[in-house]
Chain A
Amino acid sequence: DGGITQSPKYLFRKEGQNVTLSCEQNLNHDAMYWYRQDPGQGLRLIYYSQIVNDFQKGDIAEGYSVSREKKESFPLTVTSAQKNPTAFYLCASKSGGASGELFFGEGSRLTVL
């Protein structure tokens, strides 16, 4: 079945450690996104990528990094520079061009101890 797979689903990290969240899609979508969701809030864009080897900062990119070496993969690294990393992270993808829905992964919940 086509879809988006995020891993891990739950992750605990000590302060000062970097952590990488995986996002893989087999929908052949051009665009991929990373969002952060805090309790009671909507989605805030961290980074997005329209094509391989290219990505743009979103509204809250500080303390995060990404890569897009393959069309299928868009990993997110939460660095120690991110001051408040505990959150729910959602990866999404979309076909390029015309308007269309975003498809979401199941999310990764990161807790910093």
Chain B
Amino acid sequence: GENVEQHPSTLSVQEGDSAVIKCTYSDSASNYFPWYKQELGKRPQLIIDIRSNVGEKKDQRIAVTLNKTAKHFSLHITETQPEDSAVYFCAASRPLGNQFYFGTGTSLTVIP
């Protein structure tokens, strides 16, 4: 099955700085890569996703890049704010079956 690795496990940044979280996957058939944000005591919620036919996608302060050849994808958050503090999960999914395989999560702390 798919194996998704995520780094770092914890990340602290000063407010206004950028944060980068990286994931690798093993199954070359995976073609959908969502990122979820989970605030303390709350459910994971999708913040951005990317499909294998594009290399980069941006939504305001959040961007995701995908390198299919190297099988890795990254989340970039610019101009971080305290409300960005949460656990972020990457995931990979194969076609023909929404079986999401998640990374171990990154606990992001934005220091005011």
Chains A and B bind each other: no
Chain A residues near B (Cβ < 8 Å) = none
